[in-house]
Amino acid sequence: MAWPGVARSARLLGINSSGASSMLPPVFGVLFDGLAYGMLLFLLSVGQSVTLGMMNFINLAHCSFAMLGGYLTVTLMSRYGWSFFATLPCAFVVAAVVSVGFERTLFRRLYRASELDQVLLTIGIVFISVAVAAYVFGTDQQPLQLPHYLRSSLTFMGIRFAVYRLVLVGLALLITLALVIGLDYTRFGARVRAAVDNERMARGLGIDVDRTFAITFALGSGLAGLGGALAIEIVGLDPSFAFTYLIYVLIVVSVGGLGSISGSFVAAIVLGISDVAGKYYIPQLGAFLIYLVMISLLMWRPLGLLGKR
């Protein structure tokens, strides 16, 4: 590493070499990039923290639904000329509807089955989805043609903010807020929690457990579809998508803690910032960092940062 020592320590202190005093030091830039990366991870994972976190169902096919959302967005935009934002609700709804089909026919049989059977079934679905995607859409990368303003960036006090990343952060905040309110403070949320905690009792109280599960599952998968549609601008899209990002999703959900949306949110921020900061300040550790952070956080809090069980 041929780093001039002076420049390095100056950067660590956050002094920009060009030295304009009104500018924020680059550490803020790193923080923003880390936050944006974290929000990308969060958007990909939030659906899983609903299905795995709330319903205790191990859905390894989560990223298959995300991939579905991604392909839908690309197809609607390139073939039918939809605008990017118009495709997003569509990605949510289609992924949700398709997932209900799976839920009614396959998944619901396994709510009380062993975790290992859940793993095997959903991995099987990942395999199928990868092959189907390759067959239908081809094996090549699917480029997303975003409008110009989404690819530009704003400069504020010497720091550049990429517009698309600002959008990611904003959407992630909105979704977290909506979910926390929706699941913690509404009747529906109470029903979901009751149904998961004690299914027989919930039925006895007149809760339509089947329907509650179906809706929750659809919500989780819809969020996956939405997350996929939002992520492909940064991470690209090809049939191996369903495998590639599964590890990241599991990391975010486990570090955040089961049963807690805000846990996933906090975990994603911690992971995103530590990953970006690590790669920036100590690139030799770049590949290891996200795993090291996960291991130490889980050893510190095995239930996750805000986990309830």
Partner 1 sequence: MRRILLAGLSVLALSLLPVAGHAQGTVKIGLIMPYSGQFADAATQMDDGIKLYLKQHGDKLGGMNVEIIRKDTGGINPPVAKRLAQELVTRDNVDIIAGFVLTPNALAAADVSSEAKKFMVVMNAATAIITTKSPYMVRTSLTVPQLTETLGTWAEKRGLKKVYTMVTDYGPGIDAEGAFQKGFKDAGGDIVGSVRMAVQNPDFTAYVQRAKDLDPQGIFVMIPGGAQPGAFGKALAGVGVDPKKTQVMGQLEIADEHALASMGDIAEGIITAAHYDYNHKSKMNADFVKAYNADFKRNPDFFSIGGYDGMHAIDAALKKSGGKTDGESLISAAKGMSWESPRGPISIDPETRDIIQTVYIDKVEKVGGRLVNVQIDAIPNVKDPIKAAMKK
Partner 2 sequence: MALSETSIDPQLYLVEQTRWRPAEIVFWLATLLPYLLFPNYLSLASQIAIAALFALSLDLILGYAGIVSLGHAAFFGIGAYTAGLLSKYGWGEPLSGLVVAAFAAGVVGYATSFVICRFRHLALIMLTLGFGLLLAELANSLGWLTGGMDGLQGIHTWKLLGTFPFDLYGRAAYAYALAVLFVLFLFTRRLIHSPFGLSLRGIRENFVRMPAIGAPSRAHIRTIYTIAACIAGVAGALLAQTTETVSLDSLGFERSAEVVVILVLGGAGRLYGGLVGATIYLIARDQFSGIVPQYWYFWIGILLVAVVIFLPNGILGGLAQFTARWSRK
Number of residues in contact with partner 2 under rule CB under 8 A: 41
CA distance 210 to 219: 14
- Residues of 183-198 as b/e, b for ≥16 C-beta within 10 angstroms? beeeeebebbbbbbee
Sign of CA dihedral 185, 217, 229, 28: positive
Nearest to 98 by CA among 122, 69, 74: 69
Chosen from partner 1, partner 2, none, partner binding at 258 (C-beta under 5 to 8 Å by type): partner 2
Nearest to 224 by CA among 48, 54, 88: 48
CA distance 295 to 100: 34
Q: Which is closer to partner 1, CB of 188 or CB of 243? A: 243
- Residue 282 Cβ vs partner 1, minimum distance, rounded to whole Å: 10
Q: Which is closer to partner 1, CB of 192 or CB of 237? A: 237
Do residues 230 and 168 touch, judged by C-beta distance below 8 A?
Answer: yes
Sign of CA dihedral 227, 229, 230, 236: positive
**Tokens coding 233:** 């601008």
Give me the residue label for tokens 């495709």: 87
Q: Quick check: 12 binds partner 2 (CB under 8 A)?
A: no
Chosen from partner 1, partner 2, none, partner binding at 29 (C-beta under 5 to 8 Å by type): partner 1
Q: Quick check: 106 binds partner 2 (CB under 8 A)?
A: yes
- Residue 9 Cβ vs partner 2, minimum distance, rounded to whole Å: 26
Do residues 51 and 216 touch, judged by C-beta distance below 8 A?
Answer: yes
Q: Quick check: 201 binds partner 2 (CB under 8 A)?
A: no
Task: List, as one string, the DSSP characters of 77-107.
Answer: HHHH---HHHHHHHHHHHHHHHHHHHHHHTG
Q: Quick check: 247 binds partner 2 (CB under 8 A)?
A: yes
58 by Cβ neighbours in 10 Å (0-12 / 13-18 / 19+) ranks as: buried
Q: Which is closer to partner 1, CB of 79 or CB of 200? A: 79
- Residue 101 Cβ vs partner 2, minimum distance, rounded to whole Å: 14
CA 253 to chain centre: 9
Candidates 40, 172, 195, 294; binder of partner 2 (CB under 8 A) is: 294
Number of residues in contact with partner 1 under rule CB under 8 A: 55
Q: Quick check: 254 binds partner 2 (CB under 8 A)?
A: yes
- Residue 48 Cβ vs partner 2, minimum distance, rounded to whole Å: 12
- Residue 84 Cβ vs partner 2, minimum distance, rounded to whole Å: 30
Candidates 244, 292, 295, 308; binder of partner 1 (CB under 8 A) is: 244
* Site for partner 1, rule CB under 8 A: 1-3, 7, 11, 17, 26, 29-30, 33, 36-37, 40, 130-131, 134, 138-141, 143-146, 148, 151-153, 155, 160, 162, 164-165, 233-240, 243-245, 248, 275-280, 283-284, 286-287
* Site for partner 2, rule CB under 8 A: 106, 109-110, 113-117, 119-121, 123-132, 134-135, 139, 247, 250-251, 254-255, 258, 287-288, 291-292, 294-295, 298-299, 302-304
